[in-house]
Structure 1
Amino acid sequence: MPTILRILGFRFFFFSNEGSEPPHLHVENAEAYAKFWISPVELASSYQLNAKELNELRKLVQEHKSLFEQKWHEYFS
């Protein structure tokens, strides 16, 4: 489970067995969770996150999109 980034109490990561899916990442904080597709940035699913938190996470994914794509391709190549 490679962790790519930790920011604002959230951990951005992907599972090592998900290379067959399009690039995406998981985000968690305590009991809250979300999954975002990376390109284009789009929410795939979420649990116990409100709209404000999801908007902030979407902005962070967009802001760090290049890093997430790079790490995804490095890991699954």
Structure 2
Amino acid sequence: MWSLPNLFNFAGYCIYFWSNESGEPIHVHVSVKRPSNQSTKFWLLKDGSVELANNHAELSRKSIKRLSFFITQNYNFILAAWKNYFEVDSIKFYK
């Protein structure tokens, strides 16, 4: 059974990752109120920024911009949470 480690609840959105995705580059999912299969995905990049991977939750441009800023501001916390949860010493990045 997979779990959904919840990182943040921000402005009505749930920001989390799936427990079965440790083989993928670091990223977070965002859904309205609670985790969903129809989530928006953001890659965390090596330079400390984020990139939209997909928008399956169909969030507005304004929401994506706001969430991108929030995720970037919490970049180091997310990296630490990923390392801790998946018990890895290094992070695989998309870019």
Q: TM-score under structure 1 normalisation?
A: 0.90
- Identify unmatched segments of 5+ residues in structure 2: 88-95
What is the RMSD computed on CA atoms of the aligned residues? 1.6
In terms of Rg, which structure is larger?
A: 2
Q: How far is the alpha carbon of 1:8 from its aligned partner?
A: 0.7
4+ residue segments displaced more than 4 Å: none
The equivalences for 1:1-77 within 5 A come to: 1-30=4-33, 33-39=39-45, 40-47=49-56, 48-77=58-87
* Higher RCO (C-alpha 8 Å, min separation 6): 2
What TM-score comes out, normalization by structure 2 length?
A: 0.74
Identity %: 31
Distance in 1 (CA, whole Å) between partners of 2:61 and 2:7 is: 23
Say how many residue pairs are matched: 77
C-alpha displacement of 1:33: 3.0
Q: Which structure dedicates a bigger proportion of its chain to helix?
A: 1
Question: Unaligned regions of 5+ residues in structure 1, if any?
Answer: none
Q: CA deviation at 1:34?
A: 1.1
